[in-house]
Amino acid sequence: MKLPREFYLRDGLTVARELVGKKIVTNLPEGVTSGIIIETEAYMGAIDAAAHTFRGKTERTKIFYGAGGFVYVYLIYGMHICTNVVANVENVPEAVLIRALRPVDGVELMKIRRGKKNLRELCSGPGKLSQALGITKNFYGEDLCGEKIFIEPAETLRVAATKRINIDYAGEAADYPWRFVAAD
């Protein structure tokens, strides 16, 4: 029951909103881990001063310009991986940052990867959930319609929109309500 390519080919705000309540799964040699997505942010190409694509295409952002349904990962602050889902059609550079999950499958493996026992500490942030799911820079460009990482329908949650986090440098764009969270 993986989400099909068409799910991702729509505009980034729609994809970001609808990803809340879905289940993201990684399937690696060590085991399967998954969680319900409870927080996302949309990054909207050329009109968005907070997006990595704001100043044009670079080596790093190549995949951002490709078709939706592929993984964009990057290293932030020298030590954490952030996981994004590319949205929209080719040459429309939009993507959705996954910011938090509620852990579901493979909780023991997540605890080992994170070095933490508390459930709340496993996936409550973009760097944390990437580590818990075993996502590294090797996931760059991975197909979300493949076997290694994919997203499934799961729950219907009430969604609230707020300002995005930690993009003070983005001027006016810092105030756009492009962060989507499960209402509770």
Partner DNA sequence: ACCGTGATGTTCT
Partner DNA sequence: GAACATCACGGTG
Which residues make up the interface to DNA (CB under 7 A)? 41, 43, 50-52, 55, 58-61, 74-80, 82, 84, 95, 97, 114, 116, 121, 125-129, 165-167, 169
Tokens of 3: 């989400």
* CB neighbour list of residue 140: distance below 8 Å, 6 or more residues apart: 63, 71, 72, 73
In the bound state with DNA, the residue whose beta carbon lies nearer, of 1 and 79, is 79
Shortest distance, CB of residue 3 to DNA, whole angstroms? Answer: 19
Distance CA 147, CA 38 (A): 22
Q: How far is the CB of 180 from DNA (least distance, A)?
A: 13
CB of 110 to DNA, least distance (A): 12
Read off the tokens for 156. 């219907």
Which residue number, 58 or 153, has a Cβ lying nearer to DNA?
58
- CA–CA separation, 115 and 175 (whole Å): 35
Nearer to DNA, 119 or 147 (CB): 119
